[in-house]
Each structure stands twice: as C-alpha cells, then as structure tokens.
Structure 1
Amino acid sequence: MMDHPTFERENQERVQAVESSFHQAGKPLSKPGRILIGEGTVFKQGRKKIQQKILFLFTDILVYGSIVVPGRWYKKQKIIPLEDIELEDLEDSDIFKHQWLIRTPSKSFFVSAPSYEEKKAWIEHINECRSSLMQGTSRKPSKKFAVSWIPDPAACKCMRCLSTKFSGVNRRHHCRNCGFLVCNSCSKQRAVIDHIHPTKKLRICSFCYKNINEEKFRDRGDSAGKSSSEEEEFCPSGEENEKVEEGEIGLYSPSNWLDTKNGTWERLSIYDYPKSIPSQ
C-alpha cells in the first residue's frame, strides 16, 4: 500500500496534469482534499451528432471537455458538482448501446461508453463518489433537473404545430422546458426557469408557456406573465449555436481508475471497481 505523503504527491500531480491539459481556457482544478478518481473517453449525444468527449471524475466534481489532442490538449471545459448530478441507466437499443443519462439543473445529456464494462464503471464510480460526498455534510442534492434535448435529426417538422417543416429558412429550436424541437412561430415566448438560470428568460414553446402561466395563476392567483422576444437568450451548454465539429471520432483509449486500496492508477481491464474513497 502506498504511504500517504506519496499518494498525496502523485494525486496532486495527476490533478495538475488535468488542469494543464485545458490550458488557459480551463478553470483551476487543484483543491485541498480533491482526488482524481478516474478518466476516460465517452460519446456524448449532441444536437447534431455524437461527439467524443474526455471525462474526469473527482471526489466532488465531474469534468468533461472536447478532445483536441488525445491525452494532451482539451477545450470547452465543463465542471459539474456531484451534488447536482442524477444518473439514469438506459437499456440498449438497435441504435444506441451502453448509454446512460446525466441530469443536472442547467443541462441534461446522453452519454455512452464503448462497452458495458466501461458504462458500469462510470455509473458505479460516480454514484459512489456522490454518496460519499453527501454523507456527513450540509450539501443539499438538487431536486430539479433540466430536460434532455431531442437531437435535431429526430424530427423533420415542428413537434408542436406538426405542420412547419424544418429547413434552412425554418430553423429548429429547442424548448428549454420540454426539450421538444419546435419552429420559431411555436417558440416566441420566453420564461424564467429557475433551476436553469434564476433571471434569464429562456425560449419555450407555446404549450409550455401556457402551462407555466396556469401554474403561476394557481400558485399565486396571478396569471400575469409577459412575453419577451427581446431578452437575451441563455443556453448553458452553448449548443444552440454550436456548429458540427469537423473530423471523425478519434481513437478510443480505455479508462483509468484509482485503486483506492493501493493508491495506484490502473486500467479498467485489470482493475475491479473501488468500494471506498481514500480518507481526506
């Protein structure tokens, strides 16, 4: 078993390596007591296509980003506190294999692993770290989560009016409340969705706008709710204006995990899942 000073030094080196891989565009990741538990590549369902992402699991956060140079350079860093995460395991279909859903208050998205073993490892490690984090702390888990967006190729016409066909002129839009693909005419309304952003008015479809106002009327006895098409639109993921990235999905490399018993760094193929987190 590795002695504690050696473990702390090697863990700090691994955390700093992850931090450096995002270069100046990334946020600092080094923090007392933060341990890097695992890393690997997954496939994220984007609006337009499936994209390969790098994923890092720490004892308190999940970090992911786009791959520029495998193992050396990543961009578009996203950091999610583990208390804000809820996972849903999904059954395989003819099209999607080894997939699960990551829910957060501001964004929810589908990811898949190259194998069942990789998927199982990610789900078990994330749940284990989240459970350990929540024990004996004042942290409160999130109760509201953003809906997952329906991918662009899933609908060729508006899912509300069922008449407007999408084209270069009639663009697809996502309702931030239900995730449906809708046309501009069916999504002119805006509303604040607290768990996504506390002040920004977001694009929602006419159906959801009606439901939200009815709920306000029941809860407050006031049906007032102004539509504003001039408010700045907020997209936490940046995906509403995201362009399809060039290039094919890169080579897959097996995930690495911390052996919490010996304090060593191992490949998934030769290591069983950890059942405890090193004491901090």
Structure 2
Amino acid sequence: MVDRLANSEANTRRINIVENCFGAAGQPLTIPGRVLIGEGVLTKLCRKKPKARQFFLFNDILVYGNIVIQKKKYNKQHIIPLENVTIDSIKDEGDLRNGWLIKTPTKSFAVYAATATEKSEWMNHINKCVTDLLSKSGKTPSNEHAAVWVPDSEATVCMRCQKAKFTPVNRRHHCRKCGFVVCGPCSEKRFLLPSQSSKPVRICDFCYDLLSTGDMATCQPARSDSYSQSLKSPLNDVSDDDDDDDSSD
C-alpha cells in the first residue's frame, strides 16, 4: 500500500500542504518514496505543562510542531527519523490517559491521544513504519535513548540533594542524562553526550561521576510511567534550561 502511494499525485499534494503549513521556516518534506501515513493532534508532555501539538506520521519520519492556526499554520517544526524511534505504552492514571513514550537517542518524551482507539492506531502505525524501515535497511533497533525529562511540577526540591527548594532565585535545571530536575549547584558540570549535542551539556553531579568512571548505564534512572502529577500542581515559572534547544517545551 505504501509503495503504491509513494509516487501518487494525491500523496504529493498532501505532503505539499504540510510543507506550506510550516512555511519558509520549516524544512522541505517532499522526497522520492516518502508517504504521509496520517496526522492528528496529540498532547505532548512538555517541561512546564502538557501542550497540544500537531503530529504528522510519514513512512520514514515523525514530524510535529506548534499549532498556530489549526489545519493552516504550524511553527517550530521538529523532525524525528523513525529508524531511531522506540515507543512504550504508559499506564493510564489520573487525567493523563491513552499515552505512550516516544524515545530516541536525541530526545524522548510522552504524548497522549484523545481515545484508547486513537492511541492504538498511532502506536500500531509507528511500529509498522519502524519495522519496515529496519527490515529494508538491515539495521538493528537503537538501544540508546535520551532520558524523558521529569516535568517541573513533579519537583519542588532538587531531586539529587533533596535539600534545595526551587524559588524565583534558585531555578530548576534538567540533567540531560537522567532527566531529573536539579538545582544549579548539583548540575554545574558539563559532559559530552554525542547523541544529544555536539557540545558538552548540563548533567547532574551524580551522572557526571558515573560517566567519568565509564559506568554510563547506571546514570539512567528507572522512571515511573505515571505523569499525572504534572496536571495537578500549580507551576511557578522558576525553570532555567538555557542550553535547551526546545525551551518552549
């Protein structure tokens, strides 16, 4: 089915519409063999709060962006190669339901669909696209994934020292290795994580010590699959991730 659509005029028109919605700031999406599988609005769990994002699933990439005018204009385009993607279902809890994790070596995050059926369709289509890509390329699934960031609202104190309380002066930071919310003194060091950046990035002291000794696997903590707390707590705007290239999230 995908192969038949690859060079069809209808598929080309659909992709052109997506390109036009992102405007000149977006990257070109039309290449030979690329097929637009589907699209829809998903709730992305961002750093400060859940936000609606428009997602487009192609047979080789996943594209998403901010909604400016629904069906007409989007900005802040993000493109994720599907061959690097792994997805895991998230258990329903509280107001956050029908979710799953999208994990890549560069960035990982949680998204939520409006219904269980929609979640199932998204996950099935993504898994099929990934399987087909890996089968054609002969590559193996990636076993390295960036940490899913703990939302700001889940941490009123530093998750490492357990002492520093976040205030407008003592601001939140995120460790790029474990995803924990940490204070400035607990995250003064930088370390090169090639899959995430070409320059050293902020990490917490705990991860720095482990990375420096080569014990990289231990830096990735076991994360709860519950994200409902992010909808329950009021947020103070006391986050500071100045080296985050997606600071709006």
- TM bucket by the smaller chain? 0.7 to 0.9
**CA distance in 2: counterparts of 1:96 and 1:5, whole angstroms:** 35
Q: Which ranges in structure 1 are unaligned for 5 or more consecutive residues?
A: 218-232, 244-280
Supply the RMSD in Å over aligned alpha carbons: 2.0
Q: Give the drift of 1:155.
A: 0.8
Report which of the two structures shows the higher radius of gyration computed on alpha carbons.
Answer: 1
- Residues 55, 64 of structure 1: 8 Å contact kept: yes
Equivalent residue number for residue 69 of structure 1: 69
Q: Give the drift of 1:193.
A: 1.2
Percent of residue pairs identical: 43
- Residues 6, 35 of structure 2: 8 Å contact kept: no
Equivalent residue number for residue 214 of structure 2: 215
- Residues 200, 234 of structure 1: 8 Å contact kept: no
Partner of 2:118, secondary structure, is: helix
State how many pairs are aligned.
Answer: 222
Partner of 1:52, secondary structure, is: strand
After superposition, residues 46-125 of structure 1 pair within 5 angstroms as 46-125=46-125
**CA distance in 2: counterparts of 1:181 and 1:96, whole angstroms:** 21
TM-score between both structures, scaled by the size of structure 1: 0.75
Equivalent residue number for residue 201 of structure 2: 202
**CA distance in 1: counterparts of 2:194 and 2:66, whole angstroms:** 28
> Are 1:19 and 2:19 counterparts?
yes
Partner of 1:208, secondary structure, is: helix
Q: Which amino acid aligns with 1:147?
A: A
Q: Which amino acid aligns with 1:215?
A: G
Q: Give the drift of 1:6.
A: 11
Q: Give the drift of 1:129.
A: 1.0
Structure 1 residues 173 and 6 mapped into 2: Cα distance closer, same or farther (>3 Å)? closer
**CA distance in 2: counterparts of 1:164 and 1:42, whole angstroms:** 34
TM-score between both structures, scaled by the size of structure 2: 0.84
Q: Which ranges in structure 2 are unaligned for 5 or more consecutive residues?
A: 217-241
Partner of 1:22, secondary structure, is: helix
Equivalent residue number for residue 244 of structure 2: 235
Q: Which amino acid aligns with 2:196?
A: I
Equivalent residue number for residue 146 of structure 2: 146
**CA distance in 1: counterparts of 2:39 and 2:101, whole angstroms:** 18
